Amino acid sequence: MRRSRRRRSGTPLVLSVLLSALPAAAGCMAQTPALSPPLVAVVSSPAAPSPAAHLAAHPLSGHAGGEVLLSGQGYPAHGRVVFTFHGHRIGDATADAVGRFAEVPVRVPDSFGDSAPGTPFTIGATSGPVYAETPFVLTR
């Protein structure tokens, strides 16, 4: 009669060696100076207004299809500035040598004519990573 040989697994031995090494490793880690967290770069997006840029609308309210004059500063010199009304492109302009533009006429899209009077919207101005916005209230 042949006896079957049972193999012993090395797993319990490896596990016990690893477990016995934990206290020693913890002691070494306690003596190691803490590393500072890695630096993370912050990138501006159109969703986050730039603190350097400013946008103003005149008037601050009006009806769909009406004209609004936009002025701004803090944009890249000679940069193309794209204007949006609630995310819909409504025009563009080129900033001057110091990053300003003044009284650029744009129209509120007619497609917002069904909005209730008093509905607040956002007019935005973007040039590369620079973005600013201003509120606009739709009237009848």
With beta carbons less than 8 A apart as the criterion, state whether 69 and 105 touch. yes
The helix (H) or strand (E) run that includes residue 82 is: strand 80-85
Q: What is the pLDDT of residue 131?
A: 96
Distance of CA 105 to the CA centre of its chain: 27
Instruction: Print pLDDT tens along the chain (140 aa).
Output: 555 454 444 444 443 444 444 444 445 444 544 444 433 333 334 445 667 899 999 999 999 999 999 999 999 999 999 999 999 999 999 999 999 999 999 999 999 999 999 999 999 999 999 999 999 999 97
Q: Are 57 and 51 in contact (CB under 8 A)?
A: no
Residues linked to residue 88 through DSSP beta bridges, in sequence order: 85
Stated as kind and residue range, the H or E segment containing 66 is none
DSSP-assigned beta bridge partners for residue 138: 62, 119
- pLDDT of 30 reads 47
pLDDT at 45: 40
Q: Which residue has the tokens 């650029």?
A: 104
